[in-house]
Each structure stands twice: as structure tokens, then as C-alpha cells.
Amino acid sequence: MPDGASSGTAPLLSVDRLTVEYPVAGRTLSAVADVSLVVGRGETLGLVGESGCGKSTLGRAVLQLRRPTGGKVVFDGTELTELDGEALRLMRRRLQLIFQDPIASLNPRRCIGDIVAEPLIIIGISDRVERERRVRDVLSAVGLDPELVWRRLPHEFSGGQCQRVCIARALILEPELVICDEPVSALDVSIRAQILNLLEEMKRRYGLTLLFIAHDLAVVKAVSDRIAVMYLGRLCEVGPTERLFARPAHPYTALLLEAIPVPDPTIAPATNVAAGEPPSPLDPPSGCRFRTRCPRADSVCAEKVPVLRPISSGQVVACHHPLS
């Protein structure tokens, strides 16, 4: 597999050379460039990188909310980029998205019961009693009392409670794959652990496969089986979580790990951080896109685009001068 996944079983999701571009004022913005990855059934793949690197765009392109410019997205043997209309709508029952902002993603004029029930209405479940039963079950599963929340509006809840409603809405159709787009970034630190534990519980209860998008490596480490690191639209490194944290192979991965705060005032903050800001996706550097901030870059990095290659069991890196 190109991204280091085990080849023992067929993946539930396979992304092959996916590219997403936007026309901007007569120029082309490269949001996602030639990304290939696989997600095994029942796995949690963490996707990390700085804000603006294309993580959310990749997630939306998988769901075909943003049509890719090139490449393929294969879900359980079906090529999603070839579907449209009713065929795509039916397939989307099996793939759901948890949005980054839990409050903004809920209709402020509708009560919680109606918000969670809406997907059932869309797919044609006309039996009101059956809809209500399923809504009550999923609200209870995410830790909300149906009797207390049913007729209340989103603004009456905290951010953590709204995120639980969003998770309930995503699970109401019993999907196989859930894309979590920064599901805890808008929440207080004290609430994040509750939501992460809830996602793990829901994964076990419903047999979910998760693509977990975040910019916080510490959060991703807590929930992911493997981690994919993204920089300026391209994958830098993919590998099992423990191995990637113990022996990062890409300089960018190492810098991200060094930037994780340590809750100890006696330990000085890391000083070996990448210089400057990421280049504009309107004008990415030639060769390796990280080379303008990389302490190991040389002329080869400017001339050739590095491709993902294995360096150990299950770990691949796109770097001309890997750390290991």
C-alpha cells in the first residue's frame, strides 16, 4: 500500500493520487496535490498538519462535497468520483461528517429532535414512531437525555453538548466511515477528553472507521491507530502512531512533535522550530514543498518532488533526506 497500511485486508477507503485545485483570480490554488492513502476497516487514521495545509479539503473531497480535480476515491470497492445524483446520495448514507464548529453546523431555528431526525426523513423513513425510536436511541448513546433535549434549540447548549448532537446526527444512519473534521478544536480543554472518549465508545459500539482530522498531534495520538502528516497539500509521512512518535522520519514531523507543549515549567520550550510561514499554495516551492523551511534541504530537494517510500514496517516517508 502506498501509505504504509497493512496489505492483509482490503481497505474500506482508498484514495489514489487525489488532487483538488481552485481557480483564484486567474491562477490555480493547489489545495491537495497527488495524495494517496488507505484506511482499513475499523481503523482510525489521524490526519495532521498546520492550518491551511488541505486537511479539511481532503476530507470533503473524499465525501465528494468538493469534487476532486483528479485522482480516485474508492469506498468499499465503489469509485465515488464516478457517482452522481441518486447513486451518490445513496452511497453517502454510509459516509458521514462531523463538522469542526459544533454550534455553527446546527440549524439555530430547529429543535434538537428534528435536527437529528432529518437524515432519516431524507432517506425516506416515513414511520414517525420508528424515527423517534431511533433518535432517542442515538441521543442516549451519546450521553444526552432525549426528554430534556428534544424540544430545545442549539443555542441553549454548551459547545460540548452541541458536539454530542452533531455526533448523534452523524451516527443516526449507522454509517461505516465517519470523517471527523477537527471535532474538538472549538471546545474547552476540559471538554475535549469527554468528546474523544465518546468517539472511541461510539467506534466500538457501531463498528466505525474514522478519518480523524486535527492540527493537534497530542489529540491525534490519543485516538489514532496510524497517523498521516500533511504539509501544503502533500503527505509527508504515514505510519503507526507509536512508531511515528518514537522515531519520526520526516523533518516536518519531528518539528511538529517538538512543538507539543510539555506541562512542566522546568522544561524549556522547544527552539528548533521551522522558520517562517508556510509558502502560499498559489505558488508552492519546486521539488519538496517543505524545503524552504527545512534545515536539511539541499539542491536535490529543489529539483525533485519526493515520493512516499517505505523506511520500516508500515512507515513511509516523502523525503530525500529522512531522519531515520
Q: Give the domain ranges of the chain.
A: 13-249
Is domain 13-249 given the CATH code 3.40.50.300 in the classification?
A: yes
Helix (H) or strand (E) segment spanning residue 246: helix 241-246
- Residue ranges in the chain modelled with pLDDT below 50: 1, 6-8
pLDDT at res. 177? 96
pLDDT at res. 47? 96
Q: Which amino acid is at 120?
A: L
Cα–Cα distances (Å) from 309 to 32, 227, 285, in that order, read 19, 15, 21
Cα end-to-end span (Å), the chain: 20
pTM of the predicted model as reported, rounded to 2 decimal places: 0.89
Q: Which amino acid is at 28?
A: T
CB 164 within 8 A of CB 143: yes
Give CA–CA dist 206/273, Å, rounded.
40
pLDDT at res. 322? 92
CB 39 within 8 A of CB 57: no
Cα–Cα distances (Å) from 84 to 55, 59, 88, 120, 296, in that order, read 23, 18, 5, 20, 45
Give CA–CA dist 37/47, Å, rounded.
10
Phi, psi of 209 (to 5 degrees): -110, 135
Burial class (CB in 10 A: 0-12, 13-18, 19+), 316: buried
pLDDT at res. 187? 81
pLDDT at res. 1? 46
Give CA–CA dist 31/20, Å, rounded.
6
